[in-house]
Amino acid sequence: MDLIVSTDVLAAFCERAAQYEFVTVDTEFLRETTYWPRLCLIQVATDDEAVLIDPLAPDIRLAPFFALLANPGVTKVFHAARQDIEIFVKLTGAVPNNIFDTQVAASVCGFGDSASYDSLVRSICKIELDKSSRFTDWSARPLSEKQLSYALADVTWLRDIYRELRRQVEAARRWDWVEDEMTALRSIDTYVVKPEQAWERLKMKFNRPRDIAALKVLAQWRERRAQETDQPRSRILKDDVLAELATQRPLTADAFEKLRAVPRGFGRSGAAGEIIALLKDVEALPKAALPPMPERYRGPSPKGAVGDLIRVLLKAVAEQHGVAARIIATSDEIDALVLDDEADVPALRGWRRKLFGEKALAIKHGRVGLVATRKGIVEIAVDRAAAAE
């Protein structure tokens, strides 16, 4: 079993790998106590060999492997690529060139939402993987033979999975579906969190503009501090603390002690001093400078009967075409569609609009109904004049 620990050996392997149409790639990393993932192992396979690269080895530089990632002539095959690619974006400043995600392809081919690697190995390769080394400290050295074997299996069977999924995608003529899903994975914006945009990731709904203004600056402060100190966001401030600070806006050290979610004594910390300064700035903002509140919507509720009918339609369309429902539309997209016929969501663009979006809008406006039959859910045209009588 090859464990590469020197730059020369790595360069020689990458030179060989560059001659192939594709390579399979996976990583092992740790992130429990850091903001940035710590890369501990890289697994790579070509048709003829599979290797493990030790990024923690003292005499190795990863430049040859990064060059392979950037090579547009070689497809880099991942499974559930987002976290692996995030690591390489942090190390190189770029998304690997010419990537393919087998989890995306599997969802397009009817293997369900977010199909796991071992489930694909089981269904496509007819092999049951030994997952006993899943929870391991990948930063510890030396790695055991069992650990190395476990890690290598994440790229060896991936070769067969990739070939089979390519065949199925081509047979179903769904390359445009895969390409649409890959767009986000290929965008560097997917992996770079800008502190000023951190508040957008928080699922918090406030009714007062000043609360929203406070949440924006607090989330930005936490994100920047987490990045600079390489700590998880939750170790800086948990989400519930962030929400309470945004709505209560304590302006003195003593005021922190009256808050339920804030740890005792936090008000005397240096972090609390920075937060107080930020909140004082928020309190000083004139009304004209506060974030605008969205106009109150007075149409059908996305969580009401219309949304429910469209969700039934989604399930029926997904079953009819043998594809994971999430690939066609998410629950949030259905909510947006109910609220706005022109919502900027994938479900109302391209192949998704033809497959699902136009039917969803027809249901929303009463032009189409759904009927349960022995063969499943079918759509029927609605006589709106008769329905109104």
Q: Considering 190, 209, 241, which residue would you say is the last residue of a domain?
A: 190
**Closest by Cα among 155, 179, 190, 169 to 99:** 179
Is residue 300 domain-resident? no
Handedness of CA 358, 363, 365, 366 (dihedral sign): positive
Is residue 299 domain-resident? no
The ranges of the chain with pLDDT < 70 are 1, 294-301, 383-389
Q: Are 49 and 120 found together in one domain? A: yes
Residue pLDDT, tens place only, 99-114: 999 999 999 998 987 8
Domain extent, residue 310, equals: 305-381
**What per-residue confidence (pLDDT) applies to 349?**
92
Looking at residue 291, the DSSP 8-state letter turns out to be P
pTM of the model: 0.88
Q: Are 111 and 176 found together in one domain? A: yes
Q: Are 29 and 175 found together in one domain? A: yes
Q: Are 271 and 340 found together in one domain? A: no
**What per-residue confidence (pLDDT) applies to 372?**
85
Is residue 388 domain-resident? no
**What per-residue confidence (pLDDT) applies to 133?**
78
Q: Are 145 and 243 found together in one domain? A: no
Burial class (CB in 10 A: 0-12, 13-18, 19+), 326: middle
The number of folded domains in the chain is: 3
Is residue 355 domain-resident? yes
Is residue 118 domain-resident? yes
Q: 281: domain CATH number?
A: 1.10.150.80
**What per-residue confidence (pLDDT) applies to 203?**
81
Q: Considering 126, 157, 190, which residue would you say is the last residue of a domain?
A: 190
Is residue 158 domain-resident? yes
Q: Are 279 and 220 found together in one domain? A: yes
Is residue 75 domain-resident? yes
* Number of helical (H) and strand (E) elements in the chain, helices listed first: 18, 8
Q: Are 145 and 45 found together in one domain? A: yes
Rounded to whole angstroms, what are the CA distances from 71 to 20, 23, 181, 275?
Answer: 11, 11, 22, 45
- Give bridge partners of residue 99 from the DSSP assignment: 76
Q: Are 276 and 257 found together in one domain? A: yes
Number of Cβ within 10 Å of residue 204's Cβ equals 16
Q: Are 373 and 326 found together in one domain? A: yes
**What per-residue confidence (pLDDT) applies to 386?**
47
Q: DSSP of 105-126, one letter per residue?
A: HHHHTTS-TT--HHHHIIIII-
Q: 18: domain CATH number?
A: 3.30.420.10
Q: Considering 289, 321, 356, which residue would you say is the last residue of a domain?
A: 289
Q: 368: domain CATH number?
A: 1.10.150
Q: Are 164 and 32 found together in one domain? A: yes
Strands 99-101 and 75-78: parallel
Cα(112)–Cα(93) distance, integer angstroms: 32
Q: Are 45 and 133 found together in one domain? A: yes
Q: Are 139 and 242 found together in one domain? A: no
Q: Tokens 């070689």 appear where? A: 74
